[in-house]
Amino acid sequence: MEIVDLYTDRGECFFGKQSPEARYVVLGVPFDSTASYRPGQRFAPCEVRRALYNIEWNSLVIDNATLYDVDVNDIGDVAVVHGDIVTTLDRVATVIEDIVEAGKTPVVIGGEHLITYGVMKGFHRAGEKPCLIVLDAHFDLRSEYLGLQLSHATVMRRILEDMDTPLLAYVGVRAWESEEKEYAGARGLLYYTSLSVKRLGPVNVAASLAREASRCSEIYLSIDMDVLDPAYAPGVANPEPLGLNPFEVVQIIHRVAGDARLAGLDLVEIAPPHDCGGITSILGAKLLLEALLANRNAR
């Protein structure tokens, strides 16, 4: 995987597993150049790995499942160019393309949510078009934001327009600008607000997502940590009250990641400088762990 070696930096932050033949490839993208409220997402890949290394590796949901039994290859971080959005996203796409063409499953730790554009572009270059399920407080569907067309607030619109994603579905959305909601309606996008999840229950929401995704050949899961209420995840870049709790999120993750069609996933928008005792990074690490174990259990 020569391209991966060219565009990644192994640095000092790993969570303890490097298995070159592994199905799952962990990649950090320490990028936050379009952050508009609370920056610092560039520090998250290291902090999430540190937390994952130090918490217990068992699943709460699956009996006798631990990360010790999962082959994972942590290849380090993309060598991002802070301030250069296009170059950074192109490097992300290049590395993801290399991982996907090697038949591996990328597990990406951001970084701001814009990195998902680079990830999906990499899948697209590799000839794959996974359906996209997003856990997020926001639509990220603005046409532009602060004069930028490539931004954390525009990422899902750019993915829809540039990559013809067959399905985009949201869980936990609760904060939007009118343009975004109108666009979502015009495109017929499926979304469940946090209030809908509370009323319907996470199991029913997850079942509905599974039905909608039944036509998908592959699924990609994007977890924006601001889907959680700030009471549980205060260290995010754009916190929004009235969010989901960890048990609701875990149930949905297990249903989505527990599908053998999962092509990859990312965890984004943790901002360690604004965290309290590292609890958001620790929770993010646990969500990644549960997603990996759910997917391994499905294969």
What is the tens place of the pLDDT at every residue in 246-294? 999 999 999 999 999 999 999 999 999 999 999 999 999 999 999 999 9
State the pLDDT at residue 3: 60
State the pLDDT at residue 154: 97
In the chain, % of residues over pLDDT 70? 94
pLDDT bracket for residue 108 (50, 70, 90): very high
For the segment 37-76, what is each residue's pLDDT rounded down to a tens digit? 999 999 999 999 999 999 999 999 999 999 998 999 999 9
pLDDT bracket for residue 17 (50, 70, 90): low
Q: What burial letters (b/e) apply to 197-218, b meaning 16+ CB within 10 Å? A: beeeebeebbebbeeebeebeb
Q: Measure the CA–CA gap between 121 and 139, rounded to whole angstroms.
A: 19
Q: The domain 2-298 belongs to what CATH superfamily?
A: Ureohydrolase domain (3.40.800.10)
State the pLDDT at residue 1: 56
State the pLDDT at residue 15: 64
For the segment 191-238, what is each residue's pLDDT rounded down to a tens digit? 999 999 999 999 999 999 999 999 999 999 999 999 999 999 999 999
Please answer whether residues 27 and 77 qualify as being in contact, where contact means their C-beta atoms are separated by less than 8 angstroms: yes
16: left (phi over 0), alpha (psi -120 to 50) or beta: left
Q: CA triplet 29, 213, 256: central angle to 5 degrees?
A: 50
Checking if the pLDDT of 12 tops 60, the result is no
Residue, of 11 and 99, whose pLDDT is higher? 99
pLDDT bracket for residue 20 (50, 70, 90): confident
Checking if the pLDDT of 297 tops 60, the result is yes
**What residue has token string 């960890």?**
246
Q: What is the pTM of this model?
A: 0.95
What average pLDDT does the structure give for the chain?
A: 94
Query: In whole angstroms, what separates CA 66 from the centre of its chain?
Result: 21
